[in-house]
Amino acid sequence: MKKYLLLSFLFPIFLSAFTAQNRVCKQCHPAIYSEYYDSAHRKASVFNDPVHNAWWKLMPKTKQGYTCAKCHTPSDSNALKKGVLTENSIQKEEPISCIYCHTIDHIQQHGAYNTNITTGKTREFFTADTSKKGSGVAHFQTHTSWFGLNRSVENSPYHKINYNNDNYYNGNVCMGCHSHTDNGHGFDILMLDAFIDKKDKETCISCHMPQIPGTKVTLKNTPTHAYHGIAGIHNMTEALGKYIDFHVTQTAGGFDITIVNHANHALFGQAYREGVLKVSIERNGKEITLQPALFTRVFGKNGKTTLPWEATETLKDSLIYGKKRLHYPVKLQKDDTLTLVLGVKKISEAGLQALHLQKYRELARFKPLKYESFHF
């Protein structure tokens, strides 16, 4: 009965607030909306993200206008179709809206960049539920029993639910934006190329949108839901440590550390991003700090460091792909404890300088992904 009364209250909200998009979704998905609001997707515009803002200010402008909208603000039709960038509620509140992501039908692959092809439907959304895959499109239903005394509901009163799009199960729905992007010189400045193969155990969604406790909708209690804050550089960073392994091998001249990356892409590949491995030895009650290892990629042109849109080559690539082996010429002794902490900085010190972001010191804060100690 409580759920039935709730529906009668929500229907006018749905009808009057239809154009509000995400605020409509919030009515039935408050936990997911709260996570989204603190996510990189909600903060993707130049008005919410100081890094994107800095890139846009430095980029040479063309007659096409704002050319980043395809991935950063696709919900703003003026920005997407006309290249017109203005500060408005869509840019600030839902540059990549719930409706936009959940209506991506398929990914059109291109050499320079991929494109999301959406359905254009406003009240039929894709989602993934393995128990319902192949069941067709779900519509709102009410059920009564005991001569109408008990009422229950199934599915959404606001929209249809389509469980049959493979891209939402294998994670390739993300690959319209998170695959590759060529600059004007035909040089790929993103270089993720993480399309998921059937043999792959993990996907973009299983890693970056893991199932966490809490119901996904108010109309029906579910034990878990997909995390919409997007685990990664901004939120739940340490949750990704489960996809990284450390192996330590003693050698005649010291010891080797092997970092195993189980992701479908290299770690820390974005421009001016920097991975850091901190290595220390506790010996006889004292800590010995060794030189940290840095993982980054530096773009260049004619042998000199340059900004991504000018790049024609990679001057340095120390990223972690499948495996990364590092040698330390330090002998480990009995009862030593070796501690490894792998983490990431959203922007390196060099990046803060190049993008004129010195006042945003928190962007260069070290965020740990994986921590492990080895006793000898």
- Mean of pLDDT values over 282-294: 97
Mean pLDDT of the chain: 90
pLDDT of residue 149: 63
* Nearby residues of 59 by Cβ (< 8 Å), 6 or more positions away: 309
Q: Is the pLDDT of residue 337 over 70?
A: yes
Question: Of 201, 226, 251, which residue is a domain's last?
Answer: 226
- Based on the domain organization, do 10 and 151 belong to the same domain? yes
Q: How far is CA 277 from the centre of its chain?
A: 22
The confidence band for 148, taking pLDDT boundaries of 50, 70 and 90, is low
- Based on the domain organization, do 191 and 124 belong to the same domain? yes
- Based on the domain organization, do 261 and 200 belong to the same domain? no
Tally of structural domains, the chain: 2
Q: Is the pLDDT of residue 121 over 70?
A: yes
Q: Is the pLDDT of residue 298 over 90?
A: yes
- Based on the domain organization, do 186 and 294 belong to the same domain? no
Q: Is the pLDDT of residue 158 over 90?
A: no
- Based on the domain organization, do 145 and 15 belong to the same domain? yes
- Based on the domain organization, do 222 and 242 belong to the same domain? no
Q: What is the CATH number for 243?
A: 2.60.40
Question: Of 159, 194, 226, which residue is a domain's last?
Answer: 226
- Based on the domain organization, do 37 and 172 belong to the same domain? yes
Long-range contacts of 347-354, Cβ-Cβ distance < 8 Å, separation of 24 or more: 347/51, 347/272, 347/273, 347/274, 348/272, 348/273, 348/274, 348/296, 350/272, 351/271, 351/272, 351/273, 351/274, 354/272, 354/307
- Based on the domain organization, do 216 and 295 belong to the same domain? no
Q: Which H, E and C letters describe 204-253, residue by residue?
A: HHHHHCCEEECCCECCECCCEEECCCCECCCECHHHHHHHEEEEEEEECC
- Would residue 168 count as lying in a domain? yes
User: What's the domain range around 146?
Assistant: 2-42+96-226
CA angle in degrees (0–180, nearest 5) for 365-370-372:
125
- Based on the domain organization, do 204 and 143 belong to the same domain? yes
- Based on the domain organization, do 276 and 322 belong to the same domain? yes
Give me the percent of the chain exceeding a pLDDT of 70.
90
- Based on the domain organization, do 279 and 132 belong to the same domain? no
The confidence band for 318, taking pLDDT boundaries of 50, 70 and 90, is very high
- Based on the domain organization, do 250 and 370 belong to the same domain? yes
pLDDT of residue 150: 67
Q: Is the pLDDT of residue 51 over 50?
A: yes
Residues facing residue 320 across a β-bridge: 267
The sheet carrying 124-126 orders its strands as: 124-126, 160-162, 137-138
Q: pLDDT for 164-173, tens place per residue?
A: 999 999 999 9
Question: Of 226, 252, 269, which residue is a domain's last?
Answer: 226
- Would residue 19 count as lying in a domain? yes
